[in-house]
Amino acid sequence: MGAETFLQTLIAGLIVGSVYGLVALGYVTIYRSSGVVNFAQGAFAMLGALITMYLTNIRHLAYLPAALTAVAITTAVGLAVYVLVIARLRTEYVISQIMATLGVSMLLEGVVLVLWGGYPQTLPPFTTNEPFRLWGVSVAPQGVWVMLMAGVVLSGLYLVNNRTMFGKKMTAAATDPMAASLVGISRGAMISWSFLISAAIGATAGLFLAAMVPMNYASGSAFGLKGFVAAVLGGWGKSAGAVVGGLVLGVVETFGASVLPAGYKDAVSFLLLLVILYYRPTGVLGSSLVESD
Amino acid sequence: MSTMRITKRGSGTVLLLIALLLTAVLAGCGSDTEATTTTATVTNTTGTTAETTTESTGGPATGTPYKIGLLTTLSGPVAFLGKDIADTSQMEVDKINAEGGVDGHPIELVVEDDGMDPGKAVAALTKLAQDKDVLAITGLTITALEPAVRPVAEREKVPFVILSPTLPDLRARGDKYVFNISANEMNNAYSIIQILKAKGVTKAVGITANAPLSVVTLDEIKKQAEAEGITFSILPDAIDTNAVDVTPQVTKLKELVEKEGAQVVVSTVWPTQVGSMVKTLRQLGSEVPVVTDAVAADNSFLAMGGDEINGISMPGVKTLVVDALADSDPQKPVVLAFRDRYQAKFNMIPGAMAAGAYDELQIIVNALKVSGPDRDKLRDALEQTTDYVGAIGVFSYTPTDHEGVAVGNFALLDIKNKAFELVK
């Protein structure tokens, strides 16, 4: 593989990896505040993309207002998922709540299928499609946007978590819900916020995805799963881990697709997950939330 | 202690009785629903239509219904395709019944969902086949289900007219009861070669998806191309049907194109990846035109990419460009009438799935008019079908050829300004 091809493949992997990282960030944010693994995260990505498609194709809105509206609507859906479903499952078994998110995912897919049918569509990229050359490889502006977005979201989350009062409250509610409520921090409010944030991040990831590959109601689950794998790979429970995991997964997958016959690409990703979990169960960046021996 | 035991036993018996009662009630309700469905399908309140038809007894059909089974995918990722087939079939059945059905007998469509799962498909097909009133079964969206369901149709000796294309090794089984509607890879390849010749191509490079049908189609294209003197090299790397990023394969494709001096890329990549492939090709700096196969020929494909899909050529079902067809084309009136009917009802242009659903039903009904309600006689009548002009193409079956569609059935299409046009 020549140097140019290597660089081209690497950049492609980083771009795909940034999208996985965004999806993974959604998982981590909700998990940190509530202990729930939200398997509807992929559905949030799908909603962001499909609602934008509806607004631009059927309602003829311009792309930017449509995208912002779609993210807003998906954020509202995320809040509704918590308030109407998760919060009402007052049970000590978090597994029930996790199962409920799977049900929500199926519900959202079904609703979208009934509303807008099943034909996959793409979204336009944020800016023009003219790629620019960098060290002999061709980089599309869309790819730069994705990587920037992942970086911005990650830094934003870091700043909020560590430098704002709000972030401290969220961390407190996650670490010790009883103590937090004793000092007046509502656990329910904090979890609601985490669902809001994760839905918004997921919807944004969906916008990027739909510019790369046509999406329909069924597209959410595959990416949701990849995002989950990325989150575990990078260090479960860490935001930076989610992004690192996403990047690692994206790069390994793309190189795998390059050297192996097509179809083995997913095998490579899951093999990587198995290897990491075996030798380093806390993930690439390490995680305090996972037991390792 | 003893009281508790008796109570428990007592409650057990009560529960059992309730369960039995419920089952009886539900079974009763079930058959009631079926009866209602029968009446609903037979009744028609729209009256005869004004369209000209081949045979019209001048009034709605009122005899005992002839049942035709429809096995399609109504759940899962391709549910929307199956729904298109089911809706189109019902539309056509309603039209046929309004015009007198088959010798006064209305057609009743019995729909079953295969959920894209071979086990479920076998169960659904067996259920349809074992209903002795079902004279023929049609549908089948997905090629992957065929190995499971074809033997069922053969075993139950029920004519099975299928929409999915069949791979060559399955065709070689020589099934007696299964008939194909879809144009197979030889038709596809023939029309692609016509496009290449129209564009004066002498050197081409091929790329495929990692799906059996795509691989088989590209191999057939290569075979036919070389018979016409076109140099054809196939890229060893295939594009995964679920790929999000196609950069590795497209990079190699570009290298091969440059090495061979190829004038076009011929692709049997899945429609969802074609846009991405072309976009990446352009981003890598290659302007090579792309010709893809007929699977992508559908209006939904136009939504699967941005401006990069302009300039792609492909063979496609004639419903997409019927207005531009030559008046001498015998398919034009049939396709035009179907297109107008479909568009009036569904507000969309019909694609290959809908056209196939229309043809499946028509072919069965035409054979039924000859054979009457007997499965084996129906099978024989199907084999006598000669030069039936349908929406997909012109069909002729013989006892040894259940493939049907004559080559040259596709229109040759260019995409210009995100719309389909005939290749000049």
Q: What pLDDT is recorded for position B59?
A: 63
Whether B115 and chain A come into contact, CB under 8 Å, resolves to: no
pLDDT tens digits along A124-141: 888 776 788 877 788 888
Percentage of chain A beyond pLDDT 90 is 36
Contacts of A254 in chain B (CB under 8 A): 245, 247-248
Whether A269 and chain B come into contact, CB under 8 Å, resolves to: no
Task: Give residues with Cβ within 8 angstroms of A59, minimum separation 6.
Answer: A66
Q: What pLDDT is recorded for position B49?
A: 35
Contacts of A117 in chain B (CB under 8 A): 80
Residue A95's pLDDT band (cuts 50, 70, 90):
confident
Whether B79 and chain A come into contact, CB under 8 Å, resolves to: yes
SS3 state at B416: strand
ipTM of the complex: 0.77
Write the CA distances from A206 to A67, A129, A169, B98, integer angstroms: 10, 18, 29, 47
CA distance B116 to chain A (A): 14
Going by C-alpha positions, the residue among B159, B155, B162, B154 that lies closest to residue B181 is: B162
Residues of chain B with pLDDT under 70: 1-59, 61
User: Contact, B404 vs B180, CB < 8 A?
Assistant: yes
Q: What pLDDT is recorded for position B20?
A: 56
User: Contact, A160 vs A29, CB < 8 A?
Assistant: no
Whether A212 and chain B come into contact, CB under 8 Å, resolves to: yes
Token pair listed for B372: 């009457």
Contacts of A129 in chain B (CB under 8 A): 279, 282-283, 306-308
DSSP tag of A84 = I
Q: Which of B244, B259, B270, B283 to mutate to test the interface with A (most CBs of A within 10 A)?
A: B244
Interface contact B306-A5, CB threshold 8 A: no
Write the CA distances from B254 to A129, B38, B230, B231, B414, integer angstroms: 19, 58, 19, 17, 22
Going by C-alpha positions, the residue among A230, A234, A239, A247 that lies closest to residue A281 is: A234
pLDDT tens digits along B218-253: 999 999 999 999 999 999 989 988 888 888 899 999
Least confidently predicted of A80-94, A260-274, B31-45, B122-136:
B31-45
Q: What pLDDT is recorded for position A293?
A: 44
From the list B285, B307, B308, which residue is nearest A138 (CB)?
B285
What CA–CA distance (Å, rounded) separates B223 from B217? Answer: 10
Interface contact B304-A138, CB threshold 8 A: no
Going by C-alpha positions, the residue among A215, A221, A222, A229 that lies closest to residue A275 is: A229
Going by C-alpha positions, the residue among B30, B114, B15, B24 that lies closest to residue B73 is: B114
Going by C-alpha positions, the residue among B324, B302, B312 that lies closest to residue B277 is: B312
- What would the mean pLDDT of A89-99 be, rounded to a whole number? 80
Whether B81 and chain A come into contact, CB under 8 Å, resolves to: yes
Interface contact B79-A121, CB threshold 8 A: no
Residue A9's pLDDT band (cuts 50, 70, 90):
confident
Query: Looking at the DSSP assignment, which residues form a beta bridge with residue B160?
Result: B137, B178
Which long-range contacts (C-beta less than 8 Å, at least 24 apart) are formed by A83-89? A83/A192, A86/A34, A86/A36, A86/A191, A86/A195, A87/A188, A87/A191
Residue A143's pLDDT band (cuts 50, 70, 90):
confident
Q: What pLDDT is recorded for position B227?
A: 95
Whether B33 and chain A come into contact, CB under 8 Å, resolves to: no
What CA–CA distance (Å, rounded) separates A38 from A35? Answer: 9
Interface contact A138-B243, CB threshold 8 A: no
Residue A280's pLDDT band (cuts 50, 70, 90):
confident
From the list B247, B275, B306, which residue is nearest A8 (CB)?
B247
Q: What is the mean pLDDT of chain A?
A: 87
Query: Residue A291 above 70 pLDDT?
Result: no
User: Contact, A262 vs A61, CB < 8 A?
Assistant: no
Token pair listed for B104: 């006064």
Residue A32's pLDDT band (cuts 50, 70, 90):
confident
Q: What pLDDT is recorded for position A158?
A: 87
**For B305-387, where are the E strands, in sequence order?**
313-316
Going by C-alpha positions, the residue among A234, A228, A227 that lies closest to residue A284 is: A234
Neighbours of B105 (CB within 10 A): 20
Whether B141 and chain A come into contact, CB under 8 Å, resolves to: no
Neighbours of B85 (CB within 10 A): 26
Residue A203's pLDDT band (cuts 50, 70, 90):
very high
Going by C-alpha positions, the residue among B144, B141, B117, B131 that lies closest to residue B69 is: B131
Interface contact B248-A257, CB threshold 8 A: yes
Whether A237 and chain B come into contact, CB under 8 Å, resolves to: no
Q: What pLDDT is recorded for position A175?
A: 81
Q: What pLDDT is recorded for position B33?
A: 36
Q: What pLDDT is recorded for position A235?
A: 85
Interface contact B283-A254, CB threshold 8 A: no
**Angle at A187 (CA atoms; ends A186, A192), nearest 5 degrees:** 100
Whether A113 and chain B come into contact, CB under 8 Å, resolves to: yes
What CA–CA distance (Å, rounded) separates A255 from A260? Answer: 8
**Angle at A82 (CA atoms; ends A79, A87), nearest 5 degrees:** 145
Number of residue pairs across A and B with CB atoms under 8 Å? 100
Residues 201-220 of B with CB under 8 A from A: 209-210
User: Contact, B282 vs B312, CB < 8 A?
Assistant: no
Question: Taking the model in full, what pTM does it have?
Answer: 0.80
What separation, in Å, do the N-terminal and C-terminal C-alpha atoms of chain A show? Answer: 39
Whether A13 and chain B come into contact, CB under 8 Å, resolves to: yes
Interface contact B244-A212, CB threshold 8 A: yes
**Angle at B386 (CA atoms; ends B385, B388), nearest 5 degrees:** 90
Specify burial of residue A93 (Cβ count, 10 A radius: 0-12, 13-18, 19+).
exposed
Interface contact A214-B239, CB threshold 8 A: no
CA distance A284 to chain B (A): 24
Contacts of A140 in chain B (CB under 8 A): 283
Whether B245 and chain A come into contact, CB under 8 Å, resolves to: yes
Percentage of chain A beyond pLDDT 70 is 97
Whether A262 and chain B come into contact, CB under 8 Å, resolves to: yes
CA distance B305 to chain A (A): 6
What CA–CA distance (Å, rounded) separates B54 from A285? Answer: 73
User: Contact, B385 vs B401, CB < 8 A?
Assistant: no
Interface contact A16-B245, CB threshold 8 A: yes
What CA–CA distance (Å, rounded) separates B288 from B311? Answer: 10
CA A72 from centroid of its chain's CA atoms: 16
Contacts of A120 in chain B (CB under 8 A): 272, 300, 303-304
Task: Give residues with Cβ within 8 angstroms of B182, minimum separation 6.
Answer: B162, B163, B164, B165, B166, B352, B356, B392, B405
Token pair listed for B335: 């396709």
Closest-CA residue in chain A for B79? Answer: A118
